[in-house]
Chains A and B, each alone.
Chain A
C-alpha cells in the first residue's frame, strides 16, 4: 500500500500535478475575487431624483479610505514623462494609475495623501491651518484660512490638481453640470470597495461631446459617491475613473490631521489667492475649470453651452511668450529651475516627476502643429477632451472634437 503510493509519487506526471494544482488554485482565487468584485448586489430600486436627494442629504461625520485613480486619456506620448505610478507629485495625476489615501473628520479636518513609490504628497487641513507636504523635495507650505470659510472644500484651495480627486468632490463637480443638456438615469447597482452602491448615469444629449457617459456609484447606506467613471463616446472601458478601493466610515483619529513640518524641511508661508503653483494653470481639467488664475490674465470665457461648451482663456504672459517660440527653445525656456535636460527619455522621467511642476514647455514642443483660418497653434487630443494652444497665447479647451475648437478660435 505504502509502496505503491511512494512509487506513484515518484512518477513525474503525478508530481507535476502538485505545482499544477497550486497554479490552478491561485488563478481560480484571482478569478473568483474578480467575479465577486463585479457582482451586482440586489438593492431596492431608486430613481435618479431620489439618488440626487440622497447625495445632497448625505451626512457623513467621518470616513477614511484608499482611493485609486486611473486615467487612460490617450494623451500622446505623455504617460512616460509626467510621472507614472511612482510619482508622488499631484500634477502626475493626469495619467496612469495612482493611489491616494483620504481622511475626513467633519468640515474642518481633512487630509489627502498621494502615495508615490518612495514618496508622498499630503494636503492636511486642521481647522484654519492647511499644510501641503511633498516628501520628494522635503518642502512644506502653510496656508492660513480666513475664519468663517469653514464650508470651503479645503483640498481645492492649495492645489487644484487635487480638486477633482476624491469621489465626493469629483461627483460634486459633475453634478454641478447637470442642466437641460443632460440625461440622468439610474443603471442597476454595483459593488465598490466591498459596499453596495447605486449607479447614477449622466449622459450628454449633444452628440458632439467626446464624453459618452459619466457613471457615479453612490453608496446605498451612506449616500456618498464611492466611484466616478468617465467613459469616452462608444468606449467600453472608462477613460478616467476615481473610486475607493477600501473605505471605512469610522471617524479617523485627530492624530491624522496634525502636521508640523519636520526640521530641515523648507517651509513656505503662503496666503491664499496668490502665488499658486504651476499646476493651477495646467489644463488638467478643461471641462469645468474653476481655478483661481494668476493676476494679469483676462477672464476666461465660455463658448457654447452644456457638454460641448468650449473654454477660451488667455495664457499668463510669460507662458504666452514661451509658446510663441517653438521646438527645443520652448522646452529649455520652460525649465529654468531644472538642471535636467528637457529631452525625452526614461532617465528623465524620474527627474520630471520630482521637479516642482510638469515641464509644460517640453510637452508643448511635442504636440502636433495645426493651423487654419484662425491662425496656428498646437493641439492636444485625448479620448475625453481636446486642447488647442494658439501661437497668440490662447488656450481653447473642451470635451469636443478639434473642429469645434477651431470654430471657437475663429470667433
Chain B
C-alpha cells in the first residue's frame, strides 16, 4: 500500500493540500479539535512528562541546595543563588538562568523537532493530511502546540521555583541588580516579564526546530540538530574575537533578560532581543511553510 502511494506522491499534493471540500461552518470547530488532540499528544506522552519533571526538578534542587549548604556567595551564578537566601523569588530566577542555556532549548527542540518528523516517522503524517487538513493549518497547529509547551515549560520552572523558594526562604522585598529594593509584588511582576521574554526567545528557537523537523523523518535527528545549533551559537557567542557576528546569533540576546531586573529597566538589549526573535521566527516559519507545502509525503 505504501508502494502505491509513494509511486505517485505528486498527485497527492493538490488533493490533500487544498481542503476545498471542507464546509466553512465547521472549520473553527475542527481546528480547535486538532489543536486539542495535539496538546493531548504533547502533554500526554510519557517522555514529555519525564522531561518536564526534569525541568521542574532543577528549581527544587537549587532551593534545597541553597537552603542546606549555607551561603554560596560568589559561586557560579552567585548573584542569583546568594540572593535566594533573602528572597524565595530568586529561586525561580536562578532556575531559569541555569536552565536557559541547555535544558529549556533541549525541551523546546524535542517538541518542535518531533512536530512534523515524528508524525512522518511513525507514518501518521499522511493520514493527518488525508483527513483532509490543510498543510498550512497543520503547520500552524503544530507551531501553536510548540508555543503552548514553551509557555508551560517556562512557567513550570518559575512557579515551582517560586513555590519552593517561598516555602523555604519566605517572601520579602526584592533586591534588583541595581541594588535598589522593590516590593514582592513588583518582584513577581518583573519575574513574569522575564518569563515572557524567555518565551519570546524560545518561540523563535521553536520555529527553527519546526523548520528542521520538516526536513527529515527522524525526530531524534531534528532534535539533536537544533540543540546542536543552540550550543554552537552559544559557543560562538563566547568567543570575543568573533564579536562582529554576535548580534546575529540566535541565542545572543537570551541572557539579556537580566536587563528586566535593573532599576529602571534597560530596554536597549531587550528590544534588540525581541526584534531578533521575531526576525528568526518569521524567517524559519516561512521556510518551514515553503518546505512542508512542497514536500512529498512518502511515509
Contacts and interface: CB of A to CB of B under 8 A. Distances in A.
Contacts of B177: 118-120, 135
Interface stretch (A8-16, A166-174, A311-319, A368-376): A8-16
Nearest to B18: A6
A79 B240 contact: yes
B186 interface: no
B279 A138 contact: no
B82 A138 contact: yes
Contacts of A265: 175, 179
Contact of B79 (A17, A118, A262): A118
A18 interface: yes
Q: Which of A80, A85, A115, A259 has the largest count of B CB atoms less than 10 A from its CB?
A: A115
Main secondary structure of the interface of A (DSSP, over half): mixed
A330 interface: no
A79 to B, nearest CB: 5
B86 A264 contact: yes
Contact of A122 (B76, B78, B178, B264): B178
Q: Which of A22, A66, A259, A262 has the largest count of B CB atoms less than 10 A from its CB?
A: A262
B253 to A, nearest CB: 11
A15 B283 contact: no
B266 A118 contact: no
Interface string B234-248: 000010110100000
Interface in A58-73: 66
Contacts of A187: none
Given A113-B178, A115-B259, A122-B178, A66 B268 contact: yes
Contacts of A66: 266, 268
Interface stretch (A95-103, A147-155, A156-164, A386-394): A95-103
Q: Which of B83, B178, B180, B264 has the largest count of A CB atoms less than 10 A from its CB?
A: B178
A140 B178 CA distance: 11
B77 A18 contact: no
Contacts of B18: 6
Given A79-B240, A80-B240, A263-B86, A15 B74 contact: no
Interface residues of B, number: 47
A99 B178 contact: no
A140 B180 CA distance: 11
A305 interface: no
Given A66-B268, A350-B76, A96 B243 contact: yes
Contacts of B294: 10-12, 15-16
A245 interface: yes
Interface bin, chain A: 35 or more
Given A118-B77, A122-B178, A19 B266 contact: no
Given A22-B282, A22-B286, A346-B238, A262 B175 contact: yes
A283 interface: no
A239 to B, nearest CB: 14
A32 to B, nearest CB: 14
Given A18-B289, A22-B282, A115-B262, A133 B179 contact: yes
A297 interface: no
Nearest to A133: B179
Interface in A80-123: 80, 84-86, 95-97, 99, 101, 113, 115-120, 122
Interface string A1-43: 0000011011110011111001100100000000000000000
Contact of B266 (A6, A101, A122): A101
Interface string B79-97: 1101101100000000001
A118 B290 contact: no
A136 interface: yes
Given A15-B290, A96-B243, A263-B86, A117 B179 contact: no
Interface in B1-20: 13-14, 17-18
B298 to A, nearest CB: 16
B258 A118 contact: yes
A354 B73 CA distance: 11
Nearest to A263: B86
A256 interface: yes
Contact of B255 (A99, A118, A138, A259): A118
A286 interface: no
A303 B173 CA distance: 55
A119 B290 CA distance: 42
Given A11-B294, A133-B178, 16 more contacts: A15-B291, A17-B290, A22-B283, A66-B268, A79-B241, A80-B240, A85-B243, A97-B243, A116-B258, A117-B255, A117-B256, A122-B178, A138-B79, A138-B83, A259-B179, A261-B179
6 nearest interchain CB pairs? A19-B286, A12-B294, A15-B290, A133-B179, A19-B287, A262-B175
Interface of A: 6-7, 9-12, 15-19, 22-23, 26, 66, 79-80, 84-86, 95-97, 99, 101, 113, 115-120, 122, 131, 133, 135-138, 140, 245-246, 256, 258-259, 261-265, 346, 350, 354
18 contacts: A6-B18, A12-B290, A15-B289, A15-B294, A19-B289, A19-B290, A26-B283, A80-B240, A85-B240, A86-B255, A101-B266, A113-B262, A118-B77, A118-B97, A137-B74, A138-B83, A350-B76, A354-B78
